[in-house]
Amino acid sequence: MTKVAVVLAGCGVYDGAEINEAVLALLSLEQQGASYQCFAPDMEQMHVINHLTGEPAEGEARNVLVEAARIARGNIQDLAAARAEDFDALLVPGGFGAAKNLSNFAVAGAGMEVQSDFLRLARAFHDSAKPIGLICIAPVMAAAICGEGARCTIGNDAETAAAIDAMGGQHLECPVSEARVDAERKLVTTPAYMLAGSVSEAYAGISECVKEVLALA
């Protein structure tokens, strides 16, 4: 059975992992015969967003690992302990947490840096020629992980695509129901809620992404 490490960036679309994407990714893995273990960094998230109003919650702080444990029903481990040699593939759902906690793309754009524990793990998968799936906004980290020329998609958002290209990646447009595969780098990406207007639309692309990742494992 293929073993997949799933990295969650918190809990909630505006400041953590996109919950629907995370659950659909786990569902797709299970449906397609893979096992998984969730991980998240033990760190304070960039900020807390009130998901009812969309505004920052002043004076409130939350831990990424503690928040992500909500999605994983407590079955989650510290990202610092994750080792690529224990798994066959890596999968990263999106949500703003990928751009605020796993990286600082949300504030730094093309000048972003990737969180150290995540970058170490993701590069270890790449260096071991093990497949990596990045969902939604997470592909902005593709070139940082897989190197110059990494081909990926976030759908068709021109500004984000330009930032990917500026960081050394190569953006490919993609409809919500599909995934794009960089076979040379064993990198699979899909837009999910960068384009999806419904849960079922997001599921179509995420399921395809998981299928391609598992095929490369």
Domain 3-216: give its CATH superfamily: Class I glutamine amidotransferase (GATase) domain (3.40.50.880)
Give the pTM. 0.97
Is residue 49 within 8 Å of residue 56, measured between CB atoms? yes
Note down pLDDT in tens along the chain; length 217 residues: 999 999 999 999 999 999 999 999 999 999 999 999 999 999 999 899 999 998 989 889 999 999 999 999 999 999 999 999 999 999 999 999 999 999 999 999 999 999 999 999 999 999 999 999 999 999 999 999 999 999 999 999 999 999 999 999 999 999 999 999 999 999 999 999 999 999 999 999 999 999 999 999 9
Query: What pLDDT was estimated at residue 54?
Result: 85
Length reported for the chain: 217
Which H helix or E strand runs over 119?
helix 116-127
Cα separations in angstroms, 15 against 86, 134, 147: 29, 17, 27
Residue 136 annotated as catalytic: yes
Distance, CA of 58 to CA of 79 (rounded, Å)? 27
Q: Which entry of 136, 146, 152, 209 is annotated as an active-site residue?
A: 136
Query: What pLDDT was estimated at residue 128?
Result: 98
